[in-house]
Amino acid sequence: MSAPLFRLEGIGFAYDAERPVLRDAGFELFAGERVALVGPNGSGKTTLFLIMVGLRRPSAGIVEAFGRSRRTEKDFHEVRARAGLLFQDADDQLFCPTVLEDVSFGPLNLGKTSAEAREIAQETLALLGLAGFGDRVTHKLSGGQKRLVALATVLAMRPDVLLLDEPTNALDHATEERLTDILQALPQAMVIISHDDGFLKRLATRRVRMENGALVDDGKTLTPAMARR
């Protein structure tokens, strides 16, 4: 088997020393996987994502990403360019006046010219059924529209790995179906935090559960064939 895209081992983390969130959490993500990360509210799923991209640093353990151990801000800078994190709250992701500016921001930051960034942004918006949304004022969009634009900002960076924190939040049924089809067709490995069982059943190739600060196999491993049913 090829090397994992991410490998976490023995991860410990606490926001407040009295209440550890993660204790000895370990996890591997391989190319081609769509892993569902499930577990109760407040169990530490979002925290694990933040640690994977270096927005929080663990008190113990090892984070390896794309074949290298990652410790410093510089290490994680590269990780964030290759692993796109969809935040749980779209308002944490969107900060430009218009949709096109928001979606172009990542590609520009990665060194694309403004014409290239604009083209990538338009393509990505079209992929998500948002062609024609470029000039819309971001903060006036509906919750579901913001969710999709936030996803567009992540996909426009053409990451190797997607970390999606509750991607179906605020989406109506038809939009959720469309999102499922889009995600199924993407080649990237992904980890998906969701409380939406139906969505996960259609999308995930494997499930892991956050339990007492560690990750355990959920015992409901899905085969890729079943997941694509």
Ligand X SMILES: Nc1ncnc2c1ncn2[C@@H]1O[C@H](COP(=O)(O)OP(=O)(O)OP(=O)(O)O)[C@@H](O)[C@H]1O
> Could you say whether residue 97 binds ligand X (CB under 6 A)?
no
Q: Are strands 161-165 and 22-29 parallel, antiparallel or unpaired?
A: unpaired
Of 32, 42, 97, 224, which one interacts with ligand X (CB under 6 A)? 42
Query: Which of 47, 93 has the CB closer to ligand X?
Result: 47
Query: What's the CA gap between 159 and 190, in Å, rounded?
Result: 10
Please report how close the Cβ of residue 211 comes to ligand X at its closest, in angstroms: 11
Among 25, 29, 33, 39, binds ligand X (CB under 6 A): 39
Among 5, 8, 25, 46, binds ligand X (CB under 6 A): 46
Alpha carbon distance 203, 34 (integer Å)? 7
Residue 47 interacts with ligand X (CB under 6 A): yes or no: yes
Beta carbons within 8 Å of 58's beta carbon, 6+ residues apart: 11, 12, 13, 22, 51
The answer to the question of residue 93 lying near ligand X (CB under 6 A) is: no
d(C-alpha 211, C-alpha 48), whole Å:
12
Q: Segment near ligand X (CB under 6 A), from 44-52, 63-71, 154-162, 184-192?
A: 44-52
Residue closer to ligand X by CB (options 47, 122) is 47
Residues 1-30 that bind ligand X (CB under 6 A): 15, 21
Minimum CB separation from ligand X for residue 3, in Å? Answer: 27
- The secondary structure of residue 217, as a DSSP letter, is E
- Whichever of 103 and 192 has its CB closer to ligand X, that residue is 192
CB 137 within 8 A of CB 101: no
Contact residues for 79 (Cβ-Cβ < 8 A; gap 6+): 52, 53, 54, 65, 66, 70
* Interacting residue ranges for ligand X, rule: CB under 6 A: 15, 21, 39, 41-47, 88
